[in-house]
């Protein structure tokens, strides 16, 4: 009887322990999968971002880094070469550079990619188009989408860039003006220029990207449904973030892991090309202020005015009228 009870006890403990160990192994495997894909995406997008700014057509974005402005219409991102670099690095990092079936499966899990340039961005996604009178599904780069807003009071279109340079089109006359944003404060005093410029630009850029991610996700799901593909994508997560550099972004929507939840993430690779003066934060008479001048006590620095404001600093009235 005691032996029977002992055996029952062992079986009972095994029933409790074995599922726990299996679940632990599953969770560890899922975590390893996530880490491997995070690292691969980071490496691939960083390589792709660097490829975007290689010299093309005898014009180089590095001119901007030296403080010189060139006509933004002459700046061409190296889209196709950066895409090739992304794929190459991704496949190498995941050890599937010779496994074409796994490559195809992986690319199905990356429905949207994005390249961000000096004054706009491009989306790489599925597109339906007729080729020799046959409807085909292709992967295409979109036309450039400018970072812009329309100020209805002045009837002007304001095109933002990665720094404080803007292009302004007068929608009444068609005239185009360009320059640093502060040079338009007096001409358009109630527009977005001055101390609120960074915050407005930040909101405009993020809203545009979010709307496009919604549109292209809907379009991809519609194409998949029409073709009977067992694919359904969620709108990629896009946290509100400042866009300050040329970047290559890939949105991954992968396999189901623990709890039957899809693992979604994105790689964000940047290439620093825009050189700007830092914004300094400091204290004067107990007041936390910021400007482009390094003065006062408890000095710190920020990337831009918006970041300084987020950290509780106000524009120094001596330098901001």
Tell me what pLDDT residue 260 has: 47
211 has a pLDDT exceeding 60: yes
Mean pLDDT of 21-31: 57
Average pLDDT score over residue span 293-298: 71
Percent of all residues in the chain with a pLDDT value above 90, rounded to a whole number: 38
Per-residue pLDDT reduced to its tens digit, 246-282: 899 999 886 655 544 666 676 777 765 555 567 888 8
Q: How many residues does the chain have?
A: 321
292 touches 319 (CB < 8 A)? yes
- Average pLDDT on 141-153 reads 96
Find, among 134, 109, 141, 123, the residue nearest to 208 by Cα. Answer: 123
Other C-beta atoms lying within 10 Å of the C-beta of residue 252:
22
| CA distances from residue 260 to 115, 231, 256, 257 in whole angstroms, order as listed | 31, 15, 5, 6
User: Residue 214 — very low, low, confident or very high, per pLDDT cuts 50/70/90?
Assistant: very high
Q: How many CB atoms lie within 10 A of CB 277?
A: 11
Closest CA to 192 of 230, 152, 219: 152
- Tell me which of 234 and 171 has the higher pLDDT: 171
* Cα–Cα distance measured from residue 305 to residue 317, given in angstroms and rounded to the nearest whole number: 14
Chain-centroid distance of CA 184 in Å reads 29
Q: What band does 17 get if pLDDT is binned at 50, 70 and 90? A: low
Per-residue confidence (pLDDT) for residue 90, from 0 to 100: 92
- Structure confidence at residue 160 (pLDDT): 96
- Mean pLDDT over the full length of the chain: 81
d(CA 30, CA 95): 18
Highest mean pLDDT among 76-85, 151-160, 230-239: 151-160
pLDDT higher than threshold 50 for residue 156: yes
Neighbours of 46 (CB within 10 A): 20
Does residue 307 contact residue 201 with C-beta atoms inside 8 Å? Answer: no
Find the helix or strand (DSSP H, E) in which 250 lies.
strand 246-256
- Mean pLDDT to the nearest integer, 9-31: 56
- Alpha carbon distance, N-terminus to C-terminus of the chain: 92
Q: Residue 268: name the closest of 61, 113, 79 by CA.
A: 113
* Mean pLDDT computed over 56-81: 54
pLDDT in tens, 79-126: 999 999 999 999 998 899 899 999 998 888 899 999 999 889 999 999
Give the range among 4-8, 58-62, 160-164 with minimum mean pLDDT. 58-62
pLDDT given at position 56: 45
**pTM score, two decimals?**
0.73
Q: Which of 4-13, 188-197, 291-300 has the highest mean pLDDT?
A: 188-197
Give the whole-angstrom CA distance, residue 124 versus residue 139. Answer: 7
Q: What is the pLDDT of residues 159-206, one digit of tens each?
A: 999 989 999 999 999 999 999 999 999 999 999 999 899 999 999 999
């Amino acid at each position: 009887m005691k032996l029977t009870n002992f055996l029952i006890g062992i079986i009972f403990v095994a029933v409790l322990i074995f599922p726990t160990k299996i679940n632990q192994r599953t969770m560890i495997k899922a975590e390893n999968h996530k880490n491997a894909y995070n690292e691969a995406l980071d490496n691939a997008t960083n390589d792709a971002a660097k490829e975007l700014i290689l010299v093309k057509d005898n014009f180089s974005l590095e001119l901007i880094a030296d403080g010189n402005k060139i006509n933004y219409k002459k700046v061409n991102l190296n889209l196709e070469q950066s895409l090739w670099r992304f794929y190459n690095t991704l496949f190498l990092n995941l050890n599937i550079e010779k496994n074409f079936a796994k490559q195809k499966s992986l690319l199905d899990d990356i429905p949207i990619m994005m390249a961000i340039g000096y004054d706009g961005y491009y989306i790489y996604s599925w597109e339906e188009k007729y080729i020799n009178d046959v409807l085909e599904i292709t992967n295409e780069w979109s036309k450039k989408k400018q970072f812009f807003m329309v100020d209805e009071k002045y009837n002007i279109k304001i095109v933002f860039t990665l720094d404080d340079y803007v292009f302004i089109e007068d929608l009444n006359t068609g005239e185009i003006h360009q320059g640093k944003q502060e040079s338009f404060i007096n001409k358009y005093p109630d527009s977005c220029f001055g101390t609120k410029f960074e915050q407005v630009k930040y909101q405009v850029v993020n809203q545009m990207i979010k709307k496009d991610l919604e549109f292209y996700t809907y379009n991809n799901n519609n194409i998949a449904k029409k073709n009977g593909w067992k694919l359904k994508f969620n709108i990629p997560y896009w946290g509100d973030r400042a866009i300050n550099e040329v970047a290559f972004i890939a949105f991954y929507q992968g396999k189901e892991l623990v709890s039957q939840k899809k693992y979604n993430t994105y790689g964000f690779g940047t290439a620093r090309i825009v050189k700007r003066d830092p914004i300094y934060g400091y204290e004067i008479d107990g007041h936390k202020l910021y400007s482009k001048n390094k003065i006062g006590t408890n000095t710190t620095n920020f990337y831009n005015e918006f970041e300084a404001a987020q950290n509780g600093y106000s524009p120094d009235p001596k330098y901001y009228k």
